[in-house]
Structure 1
Amino acid sequence: MASKLNIRLLNNLLVIDVGNTDAGFGIFEDKTLTHQFRIKSLKDENYVFFEYSFRQYFLENNLRFSDITKVVLSSVVPPLTPIFKLLINNIFGIEPIIVNAYIFPSIEISIDNPNEIGSDLIANAVAAFTKYKRNCVVVDFGTALTFTVVSGTGKILGVSIAPGLKTAVKALFANTAQLPDVPLELPTSVLGKNTVHAIQAGILWGYEGLVKNMIQKVRAELEGDCIAIATGGLSSIISTLHGEFVEVNRELTLEGLRIIGESQA
């Protein structure tokens, strides 16, 4: 079936970011992200589910497996890592580049155990450092809300972690009876007039304060010299935060994985 497809990629780098909620995929032509898609990273799903999703996307977009000659894999879900490694081997006939704490020599991880840091956060740091080469805090709005601080010399100084927006909502639902579904939409007022509005106000406006306070404290520890970048699927939800960031880039992690892939022979 693949032999009938007629669009050839100019560049052949596939990057995969397996997170706790979704697995994100990006295909780069040169340095341009031309294709991307996401599937749920369901830990209960087996190999067949993920292979079918891959094959379906490539078929629908007239992409050929043979055009992919390099794959970079970041996974923070240990049970899914071997599944994706097997999938990459079987579909592309390639041994993937697995992101780890030592894969990008320009980045030094200055924490107690470098192997504890998530590979997605390493990718974020690589992208931020490569682009700005300044003290920077990358705020990733994902399943967890993470703050990764990287110095202008390429040293990851530390990480802070809080529950993500959706995680906070789910925790509230898990421990409170008879709450309705709540869309993640920033209300105009913090004075909730109904249950949905009250939850939106408490979580979204509360997280605005959390993020601003964390950025302020990071800057204080770095004596004021620190820019901030936002990434992650929910990075645009709290629009009032955008003035805090030099960039809001949902694809920052994929870009970091691209840079890591290009650095590998």
Structure 2
Amino acid sequence: MWTHFEPVHAVTYFHPRARAAFEAVGLRGFWRGYFAGRAAPLGPVDAAPVVGSFFNFAPHTVARALPAVWRLATPPEALRARLTGAVQALAELTYELPESHLVEAAELLEAAAAEVEPAGRVLGAANAALPRGEYPLARLWQAATTLREHRGDGHVGALVAADLDPVETLAWRVAVGLSPQYLAGRGWAEEQWAAARARLAERGWLTAEGEATAQGRARFRAIEDATDAAAARPWRALGPERADRLRELLEPIARAAHFVIPEENPIGLPTPQS
């Protein structure tokens, strides 16, 4: 299901209309829009809660954006901008689909999102508390965003339980195939990357040459399994029949979204399989 609802959310990072909506409220430059838009459900926070909840950014990178962005756009303004941009992007990508298709997809995705457990899920809870969208694409995007942040909170919990820190997690992803260029904006210095790789080698996750070991792959698979287990409640509540129908409805939307999502992307998002 993640490969089907995550692309709906991800247009906010990759579509020109989403970027333009942030710029229209004064958030020029990708990272201002990113940090303001994603953190806005938390209110006008300082850097510290975002360092914790976003997990994988160097603290000084977050501090460059927050709280300064709130002088450019308030959280309500950032929320309106991110929703406006996402809806405009999705409208452009799904114009061939009938409205009944979008309405049904939004209703089923909202039904799943209504079942997220807020306890211990900072970003998931903050997004779940936002008002319901007025139009089908707004409802669809907000439900997808709630589910992805809920899942992301669980993933962070699994990483912390496995004693992986942010730069170790990113170094691992590079070792298993993600291009380092997509992680350049996270703000970690080269000596921090090198130290993280060394720690992973000491733990048996990487060879001395930086290649992923079978032990490392098995340990990270356990983290992914824990992430999936922590994200399963909404889908158990939805049930297999409605989940299958939702996957069917989301597939053309997700595939359309992939026209603006790079094949190799920092989210690690593959094209959904039917």
TM over 0.5: no
TM, length-normalised to structure 1? 0.33
Answer with 1 or 2: which has the greater Rg: 1
TM, length-normalised to structure 2? 0.32
